Structure formats: structure tokens, C-alpha cells
Structure 1
Amino acid sequence: IPVVRDLPEVGQGLQDHLAVSYQFAATEPTLNTQLGGMLGKLMMGAKYLLTRSGPLSVPVNQVGGFVRSSPDNRFPDMQVYFNPASYAMTSSGKAVLDRTPGFQISAQPCRPTSRGRIEIVSPDPRVAPSIQPNSLSTDVDKSAAIQAGKVLQRFAATGSLKSVTSRAKTPDLMALDDDGLLADFKQRASTVYHPTCTCRMGRDDQTSVLDARLRVHGVGGVRVVDASAFPNITSGNTNAPTMMLAMRAADLILEDAS
């Protein structure tokens, strides 16, 4: 591919949020009771179509928020979300709900410091790029992974959750020490689909891809307006910040056009 403008930071600086989840069997009915079987799925599907209500009318993560993993932290550093369902994953990546009641609790560190990269490996657009997340490459992120597990342990130990828990599904969250929490995070944590920063804004063409007006350094008429333009990953979901960026970019484009 002929090089038009050599910008070394294109594709560099990739950041994403990773979350770890733990499941428990429950003593009270959950979404598994309603959606675990085909009859229940049909009934809940019909309820949504007819009344726009029921479990299909709300997100699966029905409880969520931001918490501090330590009272010494000035700002929340963990995003947590719980859902009233438990399931198993097939080899093809399909989630199959348990037939018996269960629930899941999840946590993700808000401010990862590790950075990866995405690079093309062929001029053929049908060839997948190389994506190297480089997750947990810093001590800060390893510590945050442990803290995520500890936050969930504290939630699982509360009276309200213990009162509706019959047993832990494998792996047993409450049986893990710091080393076990880190090893389990490395083994099972997964993306929550917040990839960002691979065309990030910055001061110059050696440390960034875009200027403060989202223009590609040295390339006229080209802007990047999506989450890849973030200098750093946001501390929570990327949807609303991306829409905010797009609204700001629309103003910039109109200003420059006039």
C-alpha cells in the first residue's frame, strides 16, 4: 500500500475495559426461571410484543454503578453490574441459560493503563488485522484486577446476596486469594467492547494521530470522529462520550467550512 503520510501512532495506544464475572445458584426465581426453557422464551417474547413489558424490555444488567475499591480512593475506580441470570457458554460462544435460578455479578477496572495496538498485515482487506490488546501489562492493571475480585467478594458476602445464594458456581469467588483472583482474571476476563484510542488526539504527529480539532496530522480534509480519537479510555461506557464527541465534531466541521 503506498504511504501517503507516515504517522507512526496510527493503530497504537489501544485501550479497552475488561470485566470478570462470577455466577451463583439462587434460592429465589430469576430470569432463568422465565427464559431457561423454550416455552418460557415464547411466552416472554409474546409478552414483550403485546405489552412492551417483561424481561425482554429491560437490559440484562439490571443493577449497576461505580464504586471505590478502597475508601482511600478519591474517585470510583470500579464499574459493577449484576444480572439475575446464570448461564454456560458453548464451544461456539453461545450462552445457554441455566434451567435453575441463578445470578451473576461482574466488575471492571475503570482506568486501565495498559496499551496495545492494531495493525494491518496485508493489502488484502479480507485479511483480518493483527490485534494485540497487551492487557495487564502494567503492575497498576494487575493490582486493579485483584481489586475487582475483592470488590465482588465484598458484595457476595453481604447479607442481602447471601440470603438468596445457595452455592457458588465454579470458580468459587469466595475461595480465591489475591493470586487466585489475578490468575482467574487472566484466564476468564473478557472485553466489554470499549476499544479506544488507536487514532488518538494529541499535540504532534509523533505522539498522536489527530489534532485538537480531530484532523489527521498533515492530511487535508480527513477527520476521525469515533472512540479511537479518545486520548485515553473513558472511565465508563464509551457510548455517550462518543456521541458527545460527534456533536462537538459537527460544530468544528461547520466552523471550518464557514
Structure 2
Amino acid sequence: MRDRYDYVIVGGGSAGSALANRLSADEGTSVLVLEAGRADFLADPLIHMPAALMFPSGNPLYDWAYETEPEPHMGGRRVPHARGKVLGGSSSINGMIFQRGNPGDFDTWASFDGMAAWDYTHCLPYFKRMETTIAGADAWRGGAGPLKLERGPADSPLFQAFFEATTQAGFARTDDVNGYRQEGFAPFDRNVYKGSRMSASRSYLRPVRDRKNLDVTTLAMVTGLRWQGTRVTGVDFVRGGRSRHSVDAGEVILCGGAFNSPQLLQLSGVGNPDVLGAAGVQTRVELPGVGENLQDHLEVYLQHTSLQPVSISPWLKKWKAPYIGAEWLFLNRGVGASNHFEGGGFIRTNDEVAYPNLMFHFLPIAVRYDGTAAEGKHGYQVHIGPMNSDVRGHVHIKNADPRTKPAILFNYLSTERDRREWVEVVRAARHILSQPAFAPFDGGEISPGPDVQTDQEIIDWVAKDAETALHPSCSAKMGTDEMAVVDPGSMRVHGTQGLRVVDASVFPTITNGNIYAPVMMVAEKAADLIAGNTPLAAEHPPVYRAKQGMPLYPQGDPRNDAWDARTEIPSALAAVRDAQPKGDAR
């Protein structure tokens, strides 16, 4: 390890891996990655076998195991939040579902002051640069990037029934939810290639680890930033929990995610003086938005038993694990080679929203994320939840000790709109699962069950049973308003020099879908901004647009020409509304 680096990247997760690859491509630039977790050894099947995804969560070898403060609108529950404790970060333990989000998400970003260069047309070329889409490159998809993306086969009897049921329910099919049209149902892209997980570390870091100007250090927890006035000059860190080290840096880039980046800023005196003072930290740079605006996707599972033995439930039997492991290890195939989230889709639950506000993951088994099966029965389920909730939370340090986990509160279910959308979400899912295509399989709903019918009963069930979809974001947002933390043109922390943030915390608003793909896009785009490269030129392929009123550009702006102007309101929405019991408590 050198005494000084041009760039010190704090966090070897998704964004940190991508930045390390791109910034170290210049042989004259020295880069150090400091990862607090351990290495992602290739011999570790719990990381690299897709079907093993449920085992790392909650395991202290793989998971930092955060949890929220008691959520006031969920009966005081503390909601667990798994975060990757290995190189590659959460991309080494997540569900491997690759969703870019809706084009409207990025045009919403661009509607904020100073954010014009973050619209869909400017983000699209960075999505394409990072992808190798095995299904084939086109105007919307990349074909030569580090991330190899396979599309789920989604061809089992239960997946076939699901797709047929969505059509019977009045919803559309689409060729590619990450391409021309997100709205609709289709097989999903996955961060899986030839039967193995393609984490950010494996895709971006491992191929370039032999670069002489790139050092990667694991088990290195950064405990503080080093300053000269408002300029960051390096970091202090602890290696292996004991030995203390310091390193100088031309620039420090925080890539710790929505929890750790605001935590380190606050520990270093950057944030809201009231929050810092309560924790015993002196304010160095007043930035009230640090740790605020926290967002996430909450989700529930609607589960049914299956009358036919066509689910993958028998493969959960412990005595079958050696066979699954051997088939995966030696043949790169079988049950172990899939994440089993092979298909799903996006719909609107009401005709007021401009683009989908509900995402479906269909799974051909009734099981919880931790691997707990529904009484060992054959079954199937959908994972559902609102995509664009107006709920906002925060991340606040509790004291000045970097080893103390911050106080995390999302305020789930705290707004009238969020509660209304949850009722719509559950009813929309039930509408699909009740279609004739499922009749040969449907042995009845087991979660939430037939006793949960009224609006209030649905809300009460969500409050008791919902889990996080593990998409924390937006807690150090880009922008130029008084609550913004990061400059969108440089990724620098406002009021500082030599300090930048690149990870999910910089999102102004959460995207519509799993957030791994947009995190990687932000890192790709940020790498050009940091290195001073000419940004990739905007691209303008047509994109499906369901309603007038999107995108959010002024009339006459040429960027509006990139959008298809068709209007379509699915008739299925009326069926969902008509199924709603009258006079429910809200």
C-alpha cells in the first residue's frame, strides 16, 4: 500500500467496484479501495451460487445486519436490512434482479434544479455501456459492457400460468422491461451468467485486480476523514479490527451506500448541526440534507398453495443440497444455477400515475426471503409493493463512535397516499392470481389469507408482515436546493473540496424497480465526471409512454421528441377498482 493515492474509494460495493475499474483505467492514476468487509472468494458457493441467495442474509459473515428504529406505523417493529459485508457489497448477496427503472424516473430527476443532465436520454448511454445483454443489444440495450445479463427462462408451468393470467387480467406483455417498454410482463434480466452470480466485484474488480495502480484492501473500516479546513486530504481506517492506519488522498470518494455514506459524513462533522450536536460531533460543514430524504421499497408476499407438484419446493429439502451443489459446481446448471426470480412485470394501480407504480416478482415456490417455506407445501407467490412511495425517513448517527450503527427510520406507511396505494397493490395482485390460468394450480391463498379483505385489514397485514425489498437510497441526494448534499455536475459534497459521494444515497428519488442497475449507471456516469472525460452523448430512441403529462420537460423542449405519445389506460384497472369492498376504513 502506498502512502498517498489520487483516489481513495471508501467502500468496495457496487458503485465502488465500478469506479475502481474506470478510474484506474488511466495508468497514471493511483486508486485505493477500502472495503470494511471480507473478500468474495470464488470458492464460496453462498456468494456465487444464485439459488443460495437466502443464506447470506442474517449471517454475520456476509451481512452487516442493520435494522430500523421501531417503525411507528408498523406497530413498533424493527425492520431488518441486510447489507453486504463482502467485496461487491450488497451485489454479492442480493436477489440478482436487474431493473433499470422507468425512463420517467430519470426525467423526474432532471426536473429538479441543476439536474438536467440526469434525464433518461443522458443516462441511457451509461446503462448501455455497462451491459452485455445476452438476449441481444439494440437501441436500448448494451452489448459490450462488464455486466453480463442473462434473461430468465420463466418457462415452468407456473410461470406460464402467471403470464397467461396477466393477459387474462387485462394487462399487456412486453418484450423487455428494460428496453422500449417497461409497463407489462416479461422474463426478467438477471445478474447471472453461465449459472453464477455476476456481482459488481466479479464484473468490474476481478478482471482488473492485476493493475499496478489499483490496490484493494479488505477488512478495512474507515473511521474518519482527515481535513485541512474544508478540504479532505485522506482517511483514517482500522484494519482487521485492531491496527490503525492513515492514507493521504488527492480525493476521497464515499461509496458506502445509503446508510454508511451519510454516517461517515456526519461522523466527520458534515450535516445538520442539531443531529451532529446531539451525537457529540462538532459541525465542520453545515449541510442539513445529510441523512434526510431516505427512501426504500417495502414489499409483501402473496402466497398460494399449488394443487399440482410443479413448484420447486421439494428442492428445499436439506438432503438434496449436496446434489444441487454438485450439479451447480461441476455442470453450471440445475436448481442452483438460477435465482428463480425469472419473470414479473410492472403495472399502474390507478389512472392518476404516469407510469407503473407496482412491480411484480413471481416466484414458483411459497417461501420467505430467508428460505422459510410455507409448511413444506407446493406453492407460488408474488412479491409486490409500491414503487414510488411518498414516505421519507432519515439516517442519524447516535454518537461519535464509528462502530455504532446509525439510527435508521423509514416511516413506512406514514402517509395517506402510501396506505391507499398499498390497498390498490394487494387488490391488483389478487386480481391477477384469481384468473382462470391459475385454476388448475390454485389451492387457495395462504398469505395473507381469505380473512384479510377490507382496506384496514390489508393495511394491518402489511404493517405486521411486510419486509424491506432492500433498496435504501436517497439519503445524500444530488441537487442544488437547500437540502441537497452532492453537486450533480461533479459528485462533490457541497461546501467541501476533495470529497465526493457516489452510491444509492445520491438518488434524488427512488427508481421504479430494484436499484442495483441505476446505482451502477450512476457510478459509470460519475466516473466520467470525476475523471474529467467528455460525457457520453445523449441518445434518443423512442420509449413507450402510457399517459400524457410525461416527461416533465417544458413544452417545445426537443427531449420530448424521444417519447411515444400514445395514451393507454388498462381496462384491468376498472376491474381492480370494482373488486374493492365498499365502505372500508382507510
CA distance in 2, matches of 1:8, 1:198: 11
Any gaps of 5 or more consecutive residues in structure 1?
none
2:485 alignment partner, one of 186, 209, 233: 209
- For residue 31 of structure 1, what is the aligned residue in structure 2? 312
Correspondences of 1:1-258 after superposition (within 5 Å):
1-28=281-308, 29-33=310-314, 35-70=315-350, 73-87=353-367, 94-97=370-373, 98-172=375-449, 175-204=452-481, 206-212=482-488, 213-255=490-532
Amino acid at match of 2:297: H
Q: Secondary structure at the match of 1:79?
A: strand
Q: Once structures 1 and 2 are overlaid, which stretch shifts more, 228-237 or 173-182? A: 173-182
CA distance in 2, matches of 1:12, 1:188: 26
Instruction: Quote the sequence identity (%).
Output: 31
CA distance in 1, matches of 2:529, 2:390: 30
Amino acid at match of 1:30: S
Q: Secondary structure at the match of 2:532?
A: helix
**For 1:58-117, what per-residue CA distance to the aligned partner results, in whole angstroms no more than 9, with x for missing partners?**
11322211112235644211001111112368xxxx433343311111211110111000
For the 8 Å contact 1:156–1:162, the answer to whether it is kept is: no
RMSD (CA atoms):
1.9
Q: In terms of Rg, which structure is larger?
A: 2
CA distance in 1, matches of 2:394, 2:416: 19
TM-score (norm 1): 0.90
CA distance in 1, matches of 2:301, 2:443: 17
* Structure 1 pair 192–88 and aligned structure 2 pair: CA distance change class (3 A): closer
Amino acid at match of 1:79: M
TM-score (norm 2): 0.41
Number of aligned positions between the proteins: 250
* Structure 1 pair 239–165 and aligned structure 2 pair: CA distance change class (3 A): same
For the 8 Å contact 1:23–1:103, the answer to whether it is kept is: yes
CA distance in 2, matches of 1:235, 1:198: 17
CA distance in 2, matches of 1:134, 1:110: 15
For the 8 Å contact 1:155–1:161, the answer to whether it is kept is: no
For the 8 Å contact 1:17–1:108, the answer to whether it is kept is: yes
Greater RCO structure (CA 8 Å; 6+ sep)? 1
**For 1:162-206, what per-residue CA distance to the aligned partner results, in whole angstroms no more than 9, with x for missing partners?**
3211122243158422221122112211111111111001114x2
Q: Once structures 1 and 2 are overlaid, which stretch shifts more, 228-237 or 20-29? A: 20-29
Which of structure 1's runs of 4+ aligned residues deviate more than 6 A? none
CA distance in 2, matches of 1:73, 1:134: 22
Amino acid at match of 2:424: Q
Q: Once structures 1 and 2 are overlaid, which stretch shifts more, 166-175 or 1-10? A: 166-175
* Structure 1 pair 186–230 and aligned structure 2 pair: CA distance change class (3 A): same
For the 8 Å contact 2:301–2:447, the answer to whether it is kept is: no
